[in-house]
Amino acid sequence: MTGDAPPGAPDAPRPPLVLASASPRRLDLLARLGVTPDRVDPADLDESPLPRELPRDHARRLARDKARAVAARHPGSFVLAADTVVARGRRILPKAEDAATARRCLSLLAGESHRVWGGVALVAPDGDLSERVVETRVVLKRLDAGELAAYLDSGEWHGKAGGYAIQGRAEAFVRQLVGSHSNVIGLPLYETRALLRGRGYPAP
């Protein structure tokens, strides 16, 4: 930790925590850890995959790049960044910004197994970066035309990687999930807590 008081002093100020994301889901997930960021400052980077970039590498790179970009604006702070990638094999699915994209994603995923890759990166006040990549395997049920239409009508797919939100109505479509449930929502809590505590941030 850094601050004006001598190291180890009980009243040494804690460096602020900056969340490099505007996602309300990530704020809610951090709250489950008893952690409230001091600031929210989205990185606002181009999130397009690089040519032949694998889903795991894409999630790691974006989390790292977001953390470093925002850390440059907040020296001496903890900066936490994350990215969530939904993939079918090597294919990275987009964030659904319209119903047609959501329909294509769900048609590809329904009745099949896919993976959700979560990249998490933390820049400590001294500038060092720590990171984790988390894999969750998800199997969705086959969706009939009525189920698909009703989900598209709900609108909760908007802005979601892979065209679905597991914390909403789509949870009823999940036949099997292996790994971190919070990772699919947007932030793997076990790994995030470990990163924070490992760098001296007082996560309960």
Tell me which residues are annotated as active site.
83
Cα separation, 68 vs 45, in Å, equals: 11
> Residue holding tokens 């953390």?
67
- DSSP-assigned letters across all residues of 122-139: EE-TTS-EEEEEEEEEEE
To which H or E segment does residue 119 belong?
A: strand 113-123
With beta carbons less than 8 A apart as the criterion, state whether 184 and 116 touch. Answer: yes
- DSSP-based three-state secondary structure for 197: helix
Cα separation, 57 vs 103, in Å, equals: 26
DSSP H helices, 33-144, are: 55-71, 99-109
